């Protein structure tokens, strides 16, 4: 299988870390996720993360130059998980639009299990300013890869890529409205299904319903 064509997600120009450094990084990310899962964005306090990870505050800041960087990296980490999980059990729908909607709903259910963690990650993602662009972009590319996987589009047209971008927009924004209690789970579902109709609209050839 060509299962690793788009699978290289790590930032490219990172000098290799020693084993202990890799371990520190992991402890930090785990501590971050754990604190986030408990109390959301506000509960991820840099001093607490440092202490929980057994690392000095200055070190934490050397690894992640801001709280936002840390949480975006945490999201990267979680997305990685999700992506491999999804690859193991691909969506079953007959039509691309269905498969994408199913995939996103599966991801959504995963987030519902840890709503506080979702809160921390999504808020960080949308609050990120230019200094975090590369990292946010990595998250975005991961999300795109997941959606394209679900579509089964090897060679997406520019039109399809636009549709995917719009789907991502909707996905993020719908999550936010859900997290802030302004939309129900049912409404998020409807929004996702609605936007996925765009995929039919942009299929390379005629939609050819079956």
Partner DNA sequence: ATCAAGTCTGTAACTTGTTCTACATTAGCG
Partner DNA sequence: CGCTAATGTAGAACAAGTTACAGACTTGAT
Span of 55-63, 84-92, 101-109, 116-124 interacting with DNA by CB under 7 A: 55-63
DSSP type of residue 16:
P
Site string for DNA, 12-41 (x = CB under 7 A): ---x--x-xx--x-----------------
Span of 62-70, 114-122, 183-191, 194-202 interacting with DNA by CB under 7 A: 62-70
Are 38 and 76 in contact, with CB atoms under 8 Å apart? no
Q: Least CB distance from residue 14 to a copy of itself, whole Å?
A: 20
What dihedral do alpha carbons 33, 104, 126, 28 form, nearest 10°? Answer: 20
Judged by beta carbon, residue 55 or residue 198, the one nearer a copy of itself is 198
Judged by beta carbon, residue 24 or residue 102, the one nearer a copy of itself is 102
Burial category of 15 from C-beta neighbours within 10 Å (exposed 0-12, middle 13-18, buried 19 and up):
exposed
Contacts of 184 (CB under 8 A, 6+ apart): 178
Q: Least CB distance from residue 121 to a copy of itself, whole Å?
A: 13
Site string for DNA, 112-141 (x = CB under 7 A): ------------------------------
Judged by beta carbon, residue 26 or residue 141, the one nearer DNA is 26
Are 53 and 31 in contact, with CB atoms under 8 Å apart? yes
DSSP type of residue 14:
P
Q: Verify binding: residue 173, DNA, rule CB under 7 A.
A: no
Span of 53-61, 75-83, 114-122, 154-162 interacting with DNA by CB under 7 A: 53-61
Residue 193 to residue 202: CA distance in whole angstroms = 15
What is the crossing angle of helices 67-88 and 19-43, to 10°?
A: 100
The contact set with DNA (CB under 7 A) reads 15, 18, 20-21, 24, 42, 44-47, 54-59, 61-63, 65-68
């Amino acid at each position: 299988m060509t299962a690793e064509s788009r699978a290289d997600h790590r930032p490219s120009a990172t000098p290799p870390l020693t084993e202990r450094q890799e371990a520190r990084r992991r402890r930090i990310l785990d501590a971050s996720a754990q604190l986030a899962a408990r109390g959301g964005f506000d509960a991820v306090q840099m001093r607490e993360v440092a202490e929980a990870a057994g690392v000095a505050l200055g070190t934490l800041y050397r690894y992640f130059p801001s709280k936002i960087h840390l949480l975006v990296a945490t999201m990267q980490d979680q997305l990685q998980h999700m992506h491999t999980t999804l690859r193991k059990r691909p969506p079953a729908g007959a039509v691309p639009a269905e498969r994408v909607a199913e995939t996103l709903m599966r991801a959504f259910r995963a987030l519902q299990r840890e709503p506080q963690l979702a809160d921390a990650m999504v808020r960080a993602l949308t609050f990120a300013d230019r200094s975090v662009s590369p990292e946010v972009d990595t998250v975005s590319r991961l999300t795109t890869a997941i959606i394209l996987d679900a579509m089964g589009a090897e060679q997406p047209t520019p039109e399809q890529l636009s549709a995917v971008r719009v789907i991502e927009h909707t996905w993020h924004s719908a999550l936010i409205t859900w997290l802030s209690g302004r939309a129900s789970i049912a409404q998020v579902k409807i929004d996702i299904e609605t936007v996925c109709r765009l995929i039919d609209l942009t299929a390379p050839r005629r939609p050819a319903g079956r």
